Amino acid sequence: MSDESKRIIEAPISGWVKGGTTTMAYDNALAQQKAEAESRRAQEDARNRFARENPNEARINELKLGGRGSHAAIVLEYKHTKDNLVLDYIICELIVEADGNLILNMACPRCADRGIADNFKISQKNRHFELDTRRQGELWVNPKPPFETATLAGAITLNEWVKCPNLGCVWKFVIDNNVIRME
């Protein structure tokens, strides 16, 4: 064989490395983003700690129409049917219409667990419920994280069975002094 017929294959000078390496500018930008995020988390933790320790002084006023923070709400206890332990709290909006009709706007906890975030309304015209205003104006602080607060409008008693109107949900309940009893 002649020398011309032999080909020499050389290894390349550089090669590909899986994952590669990053530039120093990218690493510095990433470190700065992490430091800023940690700073914001520390500020939010300090705000939450202050809110837990001083619930009456930690109110935030915002210029929003509607929403839980701008008016009184109803807080319902969602209890387990057998052992009567509180599973969760449902903060509901109480709407007062011009004619004095009350509407309770609430979310179904079973639908929320399934990822459906639709609220439904219970009107006093359709389902008679009573509002006890003895606890009106009290500040309620959620004993479980995220330590939400709400100004109470009172206590609701609804003796008629109500079924969640969302498709595929079979949750039925009554409300007795802000405690939900399920069927």
- Alpha helix stretches (DSSP H) within the chain: 24-53, 109-113
Residue 49 has a pLDDT of 85
Residue 74 has a pLDDT of 93
Residue 155 has a pLDDT of 93
The set of residues, in sequence order, having a beta carbon less than 8 Å from that of 164 and lying 6+ positions away, is: 108, 110, 111, 120, 170, 171, 172
Return d(Cα 99, Cα 93) in angstroms, integer: 18
Q: What is the pTM of this model?
A: 0.60
Residue 81 has a pLDDT of 81
Q: Report domain extents, the chain.
A: 19-53, 68-182
**Per-residue pLDDT reduced to its tens digit, 12-26:** 556 555 666 778 888
Residue 67 has a pLDDT of 47
CA 115, distance to chain mean position in Å, is 12
Residue 172 has a pLDDT of 92
Spell out, as residue ranges, where the chain has pLDDT lower than 70: 1-6, 8-20, 58-70
CA 137, distance to chain mean position in Å, is 23
Return d(Cα 69, Cα 51) in angstroms, integer: 14
